[in-house]
Amino acid sequence: MARAVSNRRRAINTALAWAVGLLIFFPILWTILTSFKTEGQAIADPPVFLFFDWTLENYAIVQERSNYMRFLMNSIIIAGGSTLLGIIVGVPAAWSMAFVPSRRTKDILMWMLSTKMLPAVGVLYPIYLLFIQLGLLDSRLGLVIVLMLINLPIIIWMLYTYFKEIPGEILEAARMDGASLGKEILYILTPMAIPGIASTILLNIILAWNEAFWTLNLTAAKAGPLTAFIASYSSPEGLFYAKLSAASTMAIAPILILGWFSQKQLVRGLTFGAVK
Amino acid sequence: MATQHSRSAARLMMAPAVILLLGWMLVPLSMTLYFSFKKYLPMRGGDLGWVGFDNYTRFVTSSSFWPSISATLTILGGVLAITVVLGVLLAILLDQPMWGQGVVRILVIAPFFVMPTVSALVWKNMFMDPNYGLLAYLWRFFGAEPVQWMSQASLPSIIMIVSWQWLPFSTLILLTAIQSLDSEQLEASEMDGAPILKRFWYIILPHLSRAITVVILIQTIFLLSIFAEIFVTTGGAFGTKTLSYLIFQRVLESQNVGLGSAGGVYAIILANIVAIFLMRIVGKNLDN
């Protein structure tokens, strides 16, 4: 039920909320604006806001100098690959826990969650060593595997909470009608599960895209994704604000757009169903 | 209603996930434990034998240990205080009727989707640089001397950057919780003439307590292991060496694996203490 409020109060709320929202968003806006400036304008005193000579030059330079496309491809392959693998492993597991629960289901879920709490730095060297021995250091395959493993608990939990909402009566009815397990999954569960699976995929692509511990520590020149690409800008030479901004804008744009679609799922995915 | 047949099928379907996670947990963990009892220097002689609890005592008695704990707790405490307090206020604000609510939400949430290396570098250079940063310009505009953020106020700077990244998270979760508040209860109290502060203190805040606890626990687990924000800004200098950064340096930079692994075991224990509380809340929720 909507509360009736005066237009005056609504106007005050609106002004306040927009001011705060713009303030929080400002660093991103500023980065995007700066990416279209020349290096001189980027550090102009006083700062120029909108009235400068817009240029795309920085984007061309960044691409030319540091091969942005290769890092982008690495990010796409690593984030996409780890999510896909996670879904392949996670869907059956979440399905069976949601629809054929046993006495141990809760314990298994909690244990899976506990693996997510393992601090990465605590197992950094073993993973590093295993990677060297298996020849996975600085390879995309290695990162796909590690990111799949660190996000698997979130994938399973999210899918589990979605699957739980599918009414069990429908399944029973199908069973009575003599549907086999395979048919049950294919014709009844899949259509009902697709929205949940899609949101899970979305959130996990975002998490994998932004992961910045393993991607920085297990890659070098070859398999580095965009997180590593940006980190290479941490010791700059000469004027570089406009180029840093262009590189940053290119690194965050795809995920910013995906992220705006997934705000609702974010809560479910990151609180393990503790807040609804 | 499950039959024997579907039970074994279910077990089979769960197996890959369980085996993978079991391996992911047990293999590196036992290796870390193994190394922590060894003197192990890959660049300087390799495995130099068992040393008992030597690494554990050396890790905590080294001169960088207590500063690292204090840096970790300062960052953790600072970020939690900022994100929870501002998060509650922002969530209440965003819950009010207004025009363009959806757009404001999007603006507020955006920082969460910015990768850590980007937000750290953008803040460090374009905002906190003492010569060309926007904040330096602002300071000069008001006739003040620009702050050398990364060296003179390194911890507050990192707290600011990390808070900016995590404020959307706490706001979003608290907003979700506020929206589940029974609006009739609020209206009733409004009609009874309860002042805003009282309504906040006796109705909104108690309703949010669970969500606030969840925010604190989840953020703590993530914040205990922040890495990129320090890696690309100070590199652990100027008192910003957290416990996880110290372990990273011991293991990969100075290649003292035994010592670093002992530190890793401490970090795991610390994270588990927090995790137990979080798991209890999540577990309770599973029962309903």
- In CATH, what number is assigned to the domain containing residue A130? 1.10.3720.10
Q: In which domain, by residue range, is A35 found? A: 7-59
Chain B touched by A231 (CB under 8 Å): yes
In a domain, A261, yes or no: no
* Rounded Cα distance, A144 and A198, in Å: 19
pLDDT in tens, B135-155: 988 888 898 888 888 888 899
* A133 pLDDT above the threshold of 80: yes
- In which band, very low, low, confident or very high, does the pLDDT at B3 lie, cut at 50, 70 and 90? low
In a domain, A276, yes or no: no
* Rounded Cα distance, B222 and B120, in Å: 16
Minimum-distance CB partner of B118 among A120, A230, A271: A230
Cβ-defined contact of A13 to B184 (cutoff 8 Å): no
* Rounded Cα distance, A76 and A209, in Å: 8
In a domain, A171, yes or no: yes
* Rounded Cα distance, B240 and B75, in Å: 9
From A102, A91, A208, A104, select the one nearest A160 (Cα to Cα): A91
**Which tokens belong to A261?**
């679609």
Chain A touched by B85 (CB under 8 Å): no
Under 8 Å between Cβ of A272 and A157: yes
Total number of domains in chain A = 2
Chain A touched by B33 (CB under 8 Å): no
Residue B146 DSSP code: P
Under 8 Å between Cβ of A251 and A212: no
* Rounded Cα distance, B51 and B39, in Å: 6
Residue B39 phi/psi, 5-degree rounding, is: -90, 110
Residues A82 and A53 in one domain: no
A 10 A CB-CB count for A200 gives 30
A 10 A CB-CB count for A203 gives 23
Chain B touched by A120 (CB under 8 Å): yes
Residue B254 to residues A120, B42, B45, B260, Cα–Cα distance (Å): 18, 10, 13, 9
Partners of B41 in beta bridges: B46
Residues A55 and A99 in one domain: no
From A193, A210, A232, the end of a domain falls on: A232
Chain B touched by A62 (CB under 8 Å): no
Positive or negative torsion for Cα A266, A270, A272, B1: positive
High-pLDDT (> 90) share of chain A, %: 30
Partners of B38 in beta bridges: B50
Region A226-239 average pLDDT: 76
* B20 pLDDT above the threshold of 70: yes
* A238 pLDDT above the threshold of 60: no
pLDDT in tens, B52-75: 888 899 899 888 899 999 999 999
In a domain, A245, yes or no: no
In a domain, A97, yes or no: yes
Cβ-defined contact of B172 to A126 (cutoff 8 Å): no
Based on the number of CB atoms within 10 Å of its own CB, is A100 exposed (0-12), middle (13-18) or buried (19 or more)?
A: buried
- In which band, very low, low, confident or very high, does the pLDDT at B193 lie, cut at 50, 70 and 90? confident
DSSP element (H, E) containing A124: helix A124-133
Residues A20 and A94 in one domain: no
Residues A52 and A75 in one domain: no
Under 8 Å between Cβ of A229 and A66: yes
* Rounded Cα distance, A35 and A209, in Å: 21
Which residues does chain A have within 8 Å of residue B183's beta carbon, measured at their own beta carbons? 1, 3
Residue A50 DSSP code: S
Q: Is B50 helix (H, G, I), strand (E, B) or coil?
A: strand
In a domain, A273, yes or no: no
Under 8 Å between Cβ of A83 and A204: yes
Minimum-distance CB partner of A10 among B98, B103, B106: B98
Cβ-defined contact of B20 to A89 (cutoff 8 Å): yes
pLDDT in tens, A187-219: 777 788 888 888 889 889 988 998 989 999 998
* Rounded Cα distance, A111 and B279, in Å: 9
In a domain, A217, yes or no: yes
Which residues fall within 8 angstroms of residue A142, CB to CB, at 6 or more apart?
A: A131, A134, A136, A218, A223
Report pLDDT for A130: 92
Residues A145 and A196 in one domain: yes
High-pLDDT (> 70) share of chain A, %: 95
* Rounded Cα distance, A181 and B7, in Å: 11
Residue B129 DSSP code: -
A 10 A CB-CB count for B186 gives 17
Residues A91 and A151 in one domain: yes
Which residues does chain B have within 8 Å of residue A108's beta carbon, measured at their own beta carbons? 14, 18
B-contacting residues of A 69-98, CB under 8 Å? Answer: 89-90, 92-93, 95-97
Residues A115 and A200 in one domain: yes
A 10 A CB-CB count for A163 gives 20
- In which band, very low, low, confident or very high, does the pLDDT at A1 lie, cut at 50, 70 and 90? very low
Report pLDDT for A3: 53
Region B175-191 average pLDDT: 79
* Rounded Cα distance, A35 and A23, in Å: 19
Region B191-207 average pLDDT: 82
Which residues does chain B have within 8 Å of residue A241's beta carbon, measured at their own beta carbons? 125-126, 132
Residues A170 and A186 in one domain: yes
Residue matched to tokens 């910015």: B114
* Rounded Cα distance, B288 and B285, in Å: 6
Residues A207 and A74 in one domain: yes
Cβ-defined contact of B218 to A270 (cutoff 8 Å): yes
Region A19-26 average pLDDT: 94
* A30 pLDDT above the threshold of 90: yes
* B1 pLDDT above the threshold of 60: no
Residue B226 phi/psi, 5-degree rounding, is: -60, 140
Report the number of secondary-structure helices (H) and strands (E) in chain A.
Answer: 14, 0
Q: What ranges make up the beta strands (E) of chain B?
A: 38-41, 46-50
Residues A92 and A26 in one domain: no
* Rounded Cα distance, A108 and A94, in Å: 11
**Which tokens belong to B47?**
């495995």
Minimum-distance CB partner of B35 among A125, A231, A255: A125
Which residues does chain A have within 8 Å of residue B72's beta carbon, measured at their own beta carbons? none
Longest CA span, chain B = 78
**Which pairs count as long-range contacts for A44-48, CB under 8 Å and 24+ apart, including other chains?**
A45/B137, A46/B137, A46/B141, A47/B134, A47/B137
* Rounded Cα distance, A237 and B110, in Å: 30
Residues A148 and A25 in one domain: no
pLDDT in tens, A79-107: 999 999 999 999 999 988 988 888 888 88
Residue A213 DSSP code: S
DSSP element (H, E) containing A67: none
Residue B42 to residues A227, B48, B255, Cα–Cα distance (Å): 28, 10, 6
**Which tokens belong to A21?**
């929202």
Residue at A227: amino acid letter: T
In a domain, A151, yes or no: yes
| pTM score of the predicted model | 0.88
Report pLDDT for A54: 87
Residues A38 and A132 in one domain: no
How far does B237 lie from chain A, in Å, by closest CA?
14
Under 8 Å between Cβ of A149 and B24: yes
